[in-house]
Amino acid sequence: MEMNEEKEERVFEVTPWQVSGEVDYDKLVKQFGVSLIDAQLMKRIEKLAGSHFMLRRGLFFAHRDLPWLLARYETGEKFFLYTGRGPSGKTHIGHLVPWIFTRWLQEKFDVEVWFQLTDDEKFLFSDTMERPEQANELAYENVLDFLALGFEPGKTFVFSNLDYAKTLYRQAIRVAKKVTFSTVKAVFGFNNENNIGQIFFTSMQAVPAFLPSVLAGRNIPCLIPHGIDQDPHFRIARDVLPKLGYYKPASIQCKFLPGLTATPKMSSSKPGDAIFTTDTPEEIAMKVKKYAFSGGQPTIQEHREKGGNPDIDMCFIWLKYLFEPDDKKLEQIYWDYKTGKMLTSELKEIFIEKATSFLRTHQEAREKVRKELDRFVLKD
């Protein structure tokens, strides 16, 4: 009996490189030592910035030191935002979640955004990538998806770790000197078989949390919007940065959006699980019809009688967290589906329509920004 309970407690794992099992966010919050965004904090954010559906609907749900950062902001001290992407393949719509929220924060608080492309990381952690250049090329494709969301030139700085290495490395070794192998083992679960680049890597991800302070010659608070899988990196950064004389970075963290086949975090490698930002309307429709996990009943008659379950239906979940910001419209869909008035095929059509039109606009913006990259990229 006791053994079963113990077994049940360990059914999920979240690291920056792997998410498996059904994630229990309450347990994860305790495990990682982050704080939940409570009603009071939500109100405080809303007072300063207004309401965003990703916050309102509980997708952004945890943080570190956010009240501290807001208190500084309220006394006139501006912060900067820092987020990033590990270029291992095409961008999927899950990656867009923290970036859309970051863009909103930039607009509302009128602050700088620093965006790191960890091509070094993806080379070091990949079993199949033979040359760092492969990750570097992907970095400049992935960054188009970030910039397509409308970030402001002059206030948005994007850089690949390989191409901005001279600046980053000088700071990374300051971090590395304060992190022991045993810390990295404990935080990431590494062992003696990990390559030494992997062991060093977290120091590169720490750098943008204080680089703007180094360059400005004064301390500037940092807020990192990200998926909760990245938190272990920033736990280390928060430990080390004060030892170098900088503020601990604050963070605001989101849950994962599941994949179409109901994986806990959208997966690029599982067939039909991810919708990529470059997918055609035909590809989107095919994936949704063939793979999207449905909360509907097996037959139309049964569905009309018993109703569907929107809470486990991938099309509904993605409308809720990304494609339908309008609360009233979302609620209508929820009840129509739950009472059996709306069929699974109809819900899928709504989703396909929304996703296709969202991605059409995105793909246009993506190509436009390709020609303007120089306005954003830092290299040395």
- Interface positions with ligand TYM (CB under 6 A): 16, 82-86, 94-95, 97-98, 116, 118, 121, 205, 224, 226-227, 229-230, 254, 256-257, 265-266
227 half-sphere exposure, CB direction, 13 A CA radius: 23
Residue 61 or 256: the one with the smaller Cβ distance to ligand TYM is: 256
Q: How far is the CB of 327 from ligand TYM (least distance, A)?
A: 21
Q: Which is nearer to ligand TYM, 43 or 379 (CB)?
A: 379
CB of 126 to ligand TYM, least distance (A): 11
CB of 342 to ligand TYM, least distance (A): 26
**Element (H or E) spanning 9, and its range?**
helix 2-9
**Structural contact between residues 348 and 323, judged by C-beta atoms closer than 8 angstroms:** no
Amino acid letter, 294: S
Which amino acid is residue 184, in one-letter code?
V
- For ligand TYM, the closer CB: 209 or 369: 209
Residues forming beta bridges with residue 117, ordered by sequence position: 85, 160
Residues 6+ apart with CB under 8 A from 134: 123
CB of 183 to ligand TYM, least distance (A): 18
CB of 115 to ligand TYM, least distance (A): 8
- The CB density around residue 276, as the number of other CB atoms within 10 Å, is 18
Cβ–Cβ under 8 Å, residues 234 and 179: no
By C-beta, is 64 or 226 nearer to ligand TYM?
A: 226
Contacts of 8 (CB under 8 A, 6+ apart): none
Residue whose CB is less far from ligand TYM, 97 or 315: 97
Query: In the block, which residue shows the tokens 């059409």?
Result: 360
Residue with tokens 């994962």: 256
Find the shortest distance in angstroms from Cβ 122 to ligand TYM.
7
Nearest to ligand TYM of 15, 332 (CB atom) = 15
Alpha-carbon distance of 213 to 351, in angstroms, equals 43
* Minimum distance from residue 263 beta carbon to ligand TYM (Å): 9
Strand, coil or helix: what is 73? helix
**C-alpha–C-alpha distance, residues 311 and 332, integer Å:** 14
Closer Cβ to ligand TYM, 284 or 342, answer by number: 284
Across the strands, what pairs with 157? 114
Pair of tokens at residue 265: 């975090």
> In this structure, are residues 143 and 108 in contact, taking their beta carbons and an 8 Å threshold?
no
314 vs 342, beta carbon nearer ligand TYM:
314
Tokens (6 digits) for 365: 């913006």
Could you tell me which residues come within 8 angstroms of residue 364 by beta carbon, excluding any fewer than 6 positions away?
none
Q: How far is the CB of 97 from ligand TYM (least distance, A)?
A: 4
